[in-house]
Amino acid sequence: MDYEPESLENGGTVHFEKKLCPHGTFITDRISCYSIGPVNQDFFQAKDYCLSRGKHLLEPETLASNQMFQDILTFENVAEYVVWIGLTDHDGTGTWIWETTGFGLVNDFWYSGPPNIEGHENCGAFLKAYHWKWGILDCMSSSSTLTICETGIIV
């Protein structure tokens, strides 16, 4: 295995395993790797695309990962798109869960608090109109959507 040394204040060195992203991924936050998928897909098509590649839809569960993607989306100027995240309320009860685990939210990054469900807006997304904070969309919406897939790092 490859190791990457890290210096300590007292002059010692600790070796950590080098963490790598699979081929075709573009960034790591030291926890996950990400890749861009197709545009103009509804939530279910985007989810299936990621799953067919051994990945899942982006799940920004922490403040750090949310901030990282807010910065990337702002910098890359993808203004015409919304970006699906793997967060749903398929049963319409107001209980939002992560697709990969089925767990509820520990942290949330809604634009203005948890949404009131209207109609079929049961899927979460980063929305440019909300300064890249979370909002909701109809899961069947496919106009101007962008897919980002997430996968674990290779140790």
Q: pLDDT digit string (tens) for 115-148? A: 766 666 889 999 988 888 898 889 999 989 999 9
Domains delineated in the chain: 26-152 (3.10.100.10)
- What string of DSSP letters covers 6-36? EE-TTS-EEEEE--BPPTT--EE-SSEEEEE
Give the pLDDT confidence score for residue 154 in this predicted structure: 75
Closest CA to 137 of 152, 116, 123: 123
Q: Tell me which H or E stretch contains 112.
A: none
Count of helices and strands (H, E) across the chain: 2, 10
Q: pLDDT digit string (tens) for 57-103? A: 999 988 888 898 888 888 877 667 899 999 999 887 788 899 998 98
Average pLDDT value for residue range 44-63 = 94
**Contact between 126 and 83 (Cβ < 8 Å):** yes
